[in-house]
Every structure is written in C-alpha cells, then in structure tokens.
Structure 1
Amino acid sequence: MNFEKFKIHHVKLPMKEAWETSEETFEDKHVVVLAGKKNGKWFYGEATSQKLPIYNHEDIETDIHFIKEYVIPAIKNSSSIQEYHENIGFYSGHPMAKSAGDFLLYHLNSFEEGQPISELIDGEKKKVECGASIGIKDTPEAAMEAAEKYLEKGYNRLKLKIKPGKDVEYVKAVKENFPEVKISVDANSAYSLEDLEQLKKLDKLELEMIEQPLGANDIINHSKLAKDLENPIEVVHKVWKKFQVEIENFENPQAQDRADKHRIWGQHQQDTFKRRGKVRCPDSPRLPIRRD
C-alpha cells in the first residue's frame, strides 16, 4: 500500500453525561485510531474497543498491541483490501483491532477512487433508521425524560439498559408515555433463570426484543428461556453464522453426543502431543465427559 508512516492514537472523549449499564458506569469514550500517511495525506481507521474487556476479550491495550504487531504488517504486505483481509485473517480473534486496518484502507480507497465509502461497499440507502440507547437512570421518571429528549431529536427506536430492580417500572414509564415507539431492552447479562418471573413481567410489555438477559456465552439457558417468553431474545457477541446452528440444537442428544466426542478428541490430542514431545503443554484438569 506504500504508506510512509503509521501512528496509533488512544483517544479519550468525555461523554456529555454518564451512561450506566448493569456492568459499569461510563463517563468517557475510549477508542484506538490507526493513522496511515500516504503521499502527504493522513488516512484513519478506528478500533471501537473499550477501556475494559467487557464487550468481548479486547480492550484498549490489547488492541494497540495487536495493531502494532499484526495489523500494520498485514497492511504493508497487502496491495488491496481483499489481500489485507486474507493476511489478517490468518490470526484468530481481535475483530475490533482488525477493523482499524479495514477502515483505514477504505478511507484510502475512497479518496483515491473519488467515491464515498457507501458506494465502494455497494450501499443502496442514503438514510437508515437510527435508534438511541438509554443508560440506566435513577428513577422511572428520569428514564421517561431521557426517552422524550431523544424522540424530540428524531430517533424512532429506543433501547433501555436494565438490571434487576431497575427494569419493569422503568420500561413501563417509557412505554405508557410513548406507546407507538419501538422499544427494546438490554440487560448485559444481569439476570439468571432464577429471575424468570421478573423477566415474564418484562415480556408482557410487548418489546421489540430482550437483549442478552443471561450470560454472553450461555446459549443453552438462553434457549430454555426463549421457550418461556414471547418477545424475541437477542444473544449478542457470539454469533456463529458460519455454522448456521439453531439454538434448539444444543438440547438435541445427538448434538450433545458430538460435543462429548470432540471433548474426548481434544484431550486425546493434548495427551498425544505431550507424550511425543511435539509441544510443551501445561498440565490442566481433564474436561468433563458425560457418561450417560
């Protein structure tokens, strides 16, 4: 790509107001920006990781390291965006850090081709509906006032962050005052199956969806919960489209049997490598294997 130099910036932006979720209260927005200079002009790509590894395994420090050690070399060894995808795709994980290189190259292509990025990726729409996410407020009235403020600005969808003790009454306050607005909620893993009755109360409010009420990786219990609720449940962060696996399959005996066999295979491979001296593996407890 013939970039003359690269710079990595950690940008910290103060938020207009604190934004609370069930996990943490955010007062600043942290991002990593990769800048590349070519022919005297700077181009930019952003990694939208957070200060702490809450959304996924990435955080600011890990992304800075990954961009420096892997993204920049992948860009240097690429002659196109497609080749960058192939080069960086060799490494597992770190989608946010990888996207910094992706955005930077699209910015470069947009400038060199004289086209907006939307046209480069075959975008069709000039406008899309945009929703607002409302952090957890101190009172239902405060949640309703925040919703009103966003609706006045033209937003037509709202997502309310919730947690036990600050859920049903808060959503009711918004729903009753703005019955025509599309409303969803996001629990950020604040509940368990023991909270089923409370989740059923939320379910009666006819929401667009309930986002991640249980643990981020708890596919099985999300599938159990879905059978007791009418509203759609969204499980974020771990979307494995590659395998097109339906949640219900995790309760299928054949699926469980296959999972057991793979656990056996994985332990067998580790034992084999250790015996042959091919790799040095730390001792670890054997994975549980179902015998029934």
Structure 2
Amino acid sequence: MNQEDYAPEDAYDAESATGDDAEATRRDAGEAESSRASRGWWDRNADDYQSEHGAFLGDDRFVWGPEGLDEEQAALLGPAASLKDKDVLEIGAGAAQCSRWLAARGARPVALDLSHRQLQHALRIGGEVPLVEADAGRLPFRDGSFDLACSAYGAVPFVADPVNVMREVHRVLRPGGRWVFSVTHPLRWAFPDEPGPEGLSVAASYFDRTPYVEQDEQGRAVYVEHHRTLGDRVRDVVAGGFRLLDLVEPEWPAWNTQEWGGWSPLRGNLIPGTAIFVCERD
C-alpha cells in the first residue's frame, strides 16, 4: 500500500486486499461508510492477518499491541484473581484470543466483532467463548450486562463517532465497571507508516483529523481509519460518561525484535506506538 504523504498508522497492519489499484487519500467518511469498509476489509484480510500474526497473538494470549504488553503483567483490567466470575465484553475481538485468556482465569467473556470471517477464525481455534457479530456502535446487549469491557486495537480507530461507542460501552457496563482500550498512539499520525529511518521524520500535521481512506476505482471506501489527537481521545472518554484512570504508553521491550507494519524496534525505542486508556464507569 502506497500511503504517500498521508501515512497514518493503521491498526496493527492494513495492506489492502483490493490490490495496487486502491487509492490512498484523506477525505471525510461517515459512520455508515466507515462501518461498511471495516466489515469488508476485515472479512477479506482475516485469513492473511491471522496467518501472519497468529503466532505473536497466540490462541489464548491477551496482548495490548505490537509492543507485546501482556495483560498477564499489566493487569489493566485488574488483578488476574479479580477476574473470576466477571462478565466481560471484548469489542473488536478478532479471533477472540483475549477472551480465551479471560475465560482461562474464570471470567465469563463475550467476544464481539464486526467481521464474520474473523469470528470464523475464532471458531477454528475453538474454546467455549460466546461469539457475537455486531457493530460496536450498536451493542446488542441490555443495560448493565457486563462488569468489564476491553478492546485491543478493535473498533475504536475505525469508527466515525467514537463518543457513540463510548456511550454504548457505558450503557452495557454496570456501575464501577472498567473499560480499557488500546489504539495507535495519536502522535504516530504525523509520521510516515514505515518501520525504518524514513518513518522518523514528520510528514503530516498531527492536528489534521481528516480520515485516512483507501478507495476503489469508483471512489468507494474499502478501508477507513479515523485520527483523533490525544486530547480528543480524552474528551471522547469523558463525553461517554467515563473517568480516565490511566493512560499507558508502552515502551518497546528489548525482547521484541519484530516489525509489524510501521511498528519496529527502531521506532518503538524513540516514539510511542500505542496508547491504552483505562477508564471507569461511575
């Protein structure tokens, strides 16, 4: 994918399955178009994604991003012992690796994803985790259904109205419930999406919120990602009814030698790649 000067960070990796004829641009993209593009992109790319990154993600590992920060050590949802008998919603679950980790610790997770093909991979891997195909902006659950909610690079970067997602998560959580989600660190949008030295020079305005869009020859979006500044993300959390407890910016660990799209040891040792928001419902 040739991102030219647009160069936002894609959620982990976003090589378009439509081929070289997909045009990368920056333009407005509304809620319906963004949702349709995300469903199609992940349905087309799920096989390659799981094949390429499945070993790193594991079948039942809870990893927050390409740096490799593991919930086992981070305990952002709370101590592992506290997860027992908790109802947990994973949003943008992909193949439900995080949900399997939660289930192994006695939680009762539900794995939700927009992509049918991603959930087929969840079925392939197996386990007793309930799977739900739905949009994060219209969660098909009753009010107060869950104790915790989490999302590792799922849904939030791809939606045109993140506050709506926050409010939906707030609605389905019980009072005191924790909501933890990770996204590409907003700073990375100013840099080219390259793992080498060419990815260390500012190429675009950090303050340009225009969505990154890949579109086909008819101008239809086949991939959409939305940029929010760090301040925007904080305001979205508050507007959704949450208190921000922590903002975690994982450092790149010495053991991680992989390159994943624009993520690499070179860049990871110099600039943040992931932002994790730890929030609580009043």
Quick check: which has more Rg, 1 or 2?
1
> Bigger relative contact order, structure 1 or 2, given CA contacts below 8 A and separation 6+?
2
Alignment TM-score, normalising by the size of structure 2:
0.27
The structure carrying a bigger helix percent of its residues is 1
